Structure 1
Amino acid sequence: MLSRPPAMFDRAHEWAALSRFILDEQAGATLGVVSGRRRQGKTFLLDAACRAAGGFFFGATEATDADSLHRLGEALTEYTRPATPIRLTSWYEAVDALLALGRERPVPVVLDEFPYLAKANPSLPSIIQAAYGPLRTERVESRTRLLLCGSAMSFMGGLLAGNAPLRGRAGLEMVVRTLDHRLAAEFWGLSDPRLALMVNAVVGGTPAYRRELARNDSPADAGDFDAWVTRTVLNPESPLFREARYLLAEEPDLRDTALYHSVLAAVAEGNATRGGIASFLGRKAADVAHPLDVLEDAGLMARDADAFRDNRSSYRIAEPLISFYGAVMRPVWSQLERPGSATRVWQQAKRRFESNVIGPRFEQVCREWALYHDDAELLGGLPARVGTGVVNDAAAKAAHEVDVAVVGVSDGAQKPPLLSVGEAKWNEVMGVPHLTRLRRIRDLIVAGGRYDTAATRLACYSGAGFTPELRSAADRGEVVLVDLATLYGLR
């Protein structure tokens, strides 16, 4: 294992994977691809790995092909200290020079922001493919561990897909993800789970938002939350203020940013279906298919299949800061740009924050807990997937929304087991009426015959607590109660 930097928070899994890839003693150069949305710490992670292993790190910029080759030659000259400066005239020469670095020992070589290089020279992936030919002498005699890194998720996702030139060439494919709600709370130094989820609903789990953009400004307690919002994300002098807009501008495939901002705003306003989004924009449903696909490929939008209805899905924004921007900031952007307006705007926007931002975020955290963190198996076993859905009630002429539907592994059975159906309420004390509704939903699902419901458990998720009557029902085994302390692993 490479020596881990003391300043690195978490990322133990990623560091271990990089260590195994870099320190592999096998003969022959190898290739790895590292991706992830901006500001997740990819550059810090790879730079630290290069420093620990004595490797070569090159950070690309938006530049012409000739300029990039010139800068790469300068960086190689500084790294290798040859008798004469290295002058690179083509990427064929450049890749061979990078492979030559690993002739004596395994050496990590990082090309950070690789999409910039490939944009200036679209043939670069094919050049690397040719350099990594299985019988090519330069590759066979090298132990260079070449790592291509980038933040343009749509581009990086296509590097190894389908008929792409590098398909089958990579020995490592790693995505550096955002911190989940538990790690984010620890990273922000928040021990109060309610405050932690409120902060998570604004900035999510992106590490750079605390260290660089908020300059380590974390709310002292729940009473400081409003002031923290106004002095950071709603403050026009803070880098966080425009971050949500920049996230779209930095994606190369999002050319019509006004359209994509409008699509995200539609979802932030509570329109989760393709038809609802199209209606919000005044367009046909077919017209929003492409923008939704592009946003999904970029990692900014997620599509969740309906657990109870075939060919139905709903959309949600994957980045909390964009949800916050769309629901709270975008409608009053001109007001916020004027210094001193943040406090007044925030007082008016808190209702939208509760309904359009933190409520949906709480539901998503509940689903993530059910999928990844239910170590005590309160919901009955290992889930295969967790999602949402709508159950039709023909007798009552109603449709019931299920916030957390947990489907288990079928293990060859004709019907997959439905482990749990649950309802999530952020700011509402849940009681027996919620349990009664869940019982009705379970009866409807049983009648539908899609799932094995023999062991389906009912679950109530609340950020405000439960009535004594509901707690008594939980003691009798009629319902599972999940509060904020459970979501954050505090009990």
Structure 2
Amino acid sequence: MDAVQGQRQHTSAAGPDLSGKPARLFDREDEWSALLAFSKDPHARTGLGAVLGRPRQGKTLLLESVARATGGLYFGGQEATEAESLRRLGAEYARYRQVSEPSHWSDWKEAVDALLALGDSRPLPVIIDSFPGLVAASPALASAVHGAVRRLERSPQENRARLILAGDTGPVMNRLFAPAAALAAAAALRVDLQPFDFRKAARLWGIDDPELAFLVYAVVGGTPAYRHDYVGGDAPADRNDFEAWVCRTVLNPCTPLFREARHLVDEETGHLSPGASHSVLSALAAGCTRQGEIASFLGQQLTDASQALTVLREHGLLRSEPDGLRPAVVRHRPTDQLLAFEHAVARPRRTLLEQGAAEVVWEDARTDFHARVAEPQFAQTCRDWAVRFAAPDTFGADHVAAAYGSLGAAAPATGLQAEVVVREQDGHRTGALLSVGLARWQTGMDIHHMQRLRSIVDTLASREEEDVSRVRLALYGASGFSPELHAAQARDEVMLIDLERLYRGA
């Protein structure tokens, strides 16, 4: 989904407006341009915008920088009582207006009206960050914002305030800006700040070697804050330095990254049973992707597992997707690579790590890392490549979706599963089957892998459930392909996609 909705008409055909964008704000050109265009929009109307994103994606840096570049007002909300938040905002309002006495507002209606009045004379962004924390103490705040915007729309007085509400992706922001919600209907701009994809993550870390770039991505994903703030700027020098880098960063109790995964779960889920959430993530790390498998791993009823899955999904820590070959089957996976690393590698060995035995732990955990973290992440990276970077003629369609797919409960025994099932995407509908593929991180691939794909296609054809006339076989491998496979590719019987093509090709 497009990360920026609305305000496209203000982006110059010559390229995005990057004026004032600080060098330390990596990438985010589209988001920066959209926010700047919205903030500077000269039309006489009050504008409402929303910026959402998971923690550590750089929302605060982006919004503070936009405020500085446009002369706008930025206010960072906190969890506090309504009275304290109004006092803090009154003081910030006075500082912004360069007056000595802070403003004293009795409620949020007064405060919002005063903030929007700043745009009476010129286009001016008023940015309220960490909005969900303010709403938690003042449930009527959302209504106050909506009412103020609507009043100005009906007023004969011209107003050019651009009110931008920002917060972490979670139940509050998702509810306030759901498609049918009042604030969503009034919003002219929505920016969803996503983690960087695997190619941008390589650039973020300054890594040109695809194998090293993938290994780092499998540990920390594409979260920008981890690059500098959480490891002190430490990046692996080369492939030979990767394991030492893991030991001195994510497995080192002296770095913020060491506790970040636990903080993400505990901070995001709050009082909603973080213990159960960690257990679900441990189940996912063990290879349990379906609700029944997770419930069995936890020793719980399906309804109990469902509640924990819902909490994780609502807080943006879990993604649920239909199986590519059996759409009625739903599979779950963590959205953050660090969560997978934590629950497969670090959490089971926490006691030793707290004692500073990172090298000992890594010796024991290396196999788990490659099998339970890198292998499934490689499959997901291949799916991401198919959707984001493959050329239209690769699969024969301009827009595609990709998912894991399997045929029947006996799939692990029969080999009737494919890590990369590509279908044509038509809007929100998933259509014709275009490709089935296997993805292997550690295993060199040979003709038997291609034969397994043929078995899947033959099974689909025999069941008369799929039109397989357009299906292309694909093998995604990080450890090489046999000469027989290269010969088969030359005959156009199979596509071979390696790390080089994932990171640089289409």
Cα distance, 1:14–1:135 mapped onto 2, change above 3 Å: closer
- The answer on whether the counterparts of 2:375 and 2:440 sit within 8 Å (CA) in structure 1 is yes
SS at 2:164's partner residue? strand
Q: For each residue in 1:118-152, what CA deviation from the matched residue of structure 2 results, as whole angstroms up to 9, or x when unmatched? A: 11111110111111115656695321111111114
Select 2:131's aligned residue among 95, 111, 114.
114
SS at 1:194's partner residue? helix
Cα distance, 1:430–1:254 mapped onto 2, change above 3 Å: farther
- The answer on whether the counterparts of 1:416 and 1:452 sit within 8 Å (CA) in structure 2 is no
Partner of 1:288: 305
Count of paired positions = 488
Partner of 1:195: 212
Partner of 2:226: 209
Structure 1 vs Structure 2: percent identity of aligned residues? 42
State the distance in 1 between where 2:365 and 2:53 align: 31
Greater Cα shift, 235-244 or 264-273: 264-273
| Shift of residue 163, structure 1, vs aligned partner | 5.3
Cα distance, 1:31–1:395 mapped onto 2, change above 3 Å: closer
SS at 2:319's partner residue? strand
State the distance in 2 between where 1:139 and 1:126 align: 22
Select 1:471's aligned residue among 477, 482, 486.
486
State the distance in 1 between where 2:285 and 2:425 align: 33
1:420 corresponds to 2:420: no
Unaligned runs of 5+ in 2: 1-16
Q: For each residue in 1:29-74, what CA deviation from the matched residue of structure 2 results, as whole angstroms up to 9, or x when unmatched? A: 1111101011101111111111111100011122111111001000
Structure 2 length-normalised TM: 0.92
State the distance in 2 between where 1:377 and 1:134 align: 52
State the distance in 1 between where 2:143 and 2:229 align: 36
Q: CA RMSD in A?
A: 2.1
Select 2:447's aligned residue among 412, 427, 432.
432
Cα distance, 1:252–1:63 mapped onto 2, change above 3 Å: farther
Partner of 2:456: 441
Q: For each residue in 1:171-213, what CA deviation from the matched residue of structure 2 results, as whole angstroms up to 9, or x when unmatched? A: 1111100000000001101111011111100000000001100
1:261 corresponds to 2:278: yes
Partner of 1:349: 365
Partner of 2:264: 247
1:153 corresponds to 2:170: yes
Cα distance, 1:395–1:127 mapped onto 2, change above 3 Å: closer
State the distance in 2 between where 1:478 and 1:29 align: 58
1:402 corresponds to 2:418: yes
Greater Cα shift, 74-83 or 478-487: 74-83
- The answer on whether the counterparts of 1:28 and 1:140 sit within 8 Å (CA) in structure 2 is no
Partner of 1:358: 374
Greater Cα shift, 83-92 or 357-366: 83-92
Structure 1 length-normalised TM: 0.95
Q: Give runs of aligned pairs for residues 56-75 of structure 1, distance below 5 A.
A: 56-75=73-92
- The answer on whether the counterparts of 2:46 and 2:152 sit within 8 Å (CA) in structure 1 is no
Q: For each residue in 1:6-40, what CA deviation from the matched residue of structure 2 results, as whole angstroms up to 9, or x when unmatched? A: 33211111112112211211112111110101110
SS at 1:454's partner residue? coil
Cα distance, 1:268–1:396 mapped onto 2, change above 3 Å: closer
State the distance in 2 between where 1:100 and 1:358 align: 53
State the distance in 2 between where 1:396 and 1:284 align: 24
State the distance in 1 between where 2:133 and 2:99 align: 27
Partner of 2:190: 173
Q: For each residue in 1:380-438, what CA deviation from the matched residue of structure 2 results, as whole angstroms up to 9, or x when unmatched? A: 32243211111249999836111001001469x9x932111000000111110001111
Select 2:149's aligned residue among 132, 149, 164.
132
- The answer on whether the counterparts of 2:46 and 2:153 sit within 8 Å (CA) in structure 1 is no
- The answer on whether the counterparts of 2:392 and 2:398 sit within 8 Å (CA) in structure 1 is no
1:82 corresponds to 2:99: yes
State the distance in 1 between where 2:245 and 2:146 align: 49
Q: For each residue in 1:320-365, what CA deviation from the matched residue of structure 2 results, as whole angstroms up to 9, or x when unmatched? A: 00000000011111111112x0000010001110111000000000
Greater Cα shift, 245-254 or 233-242: 245-254
SS at 2:232's partner residue? coil
| Shift of residue 89, structure 1, vs aligned partner | 2.0
SS at 1:251's partner residue? helix
Unaligned runs of 5+ in 1: none
State the distance in 2 between where 1:324 and 1:378 align: 32
Select 1:51's aligned residue among 64, 68, 76.
68
Greater Cα shift, 27-36 or 369-378: 369-378
Greater Cα shift, 378-387 or 425-434: 378-387
State the distance in 1 between where 2:466 and 2:66 align: 47
Kindly provide the amino acid, as one letter, of the partner of residue 439 in structure 2.
Answer: A
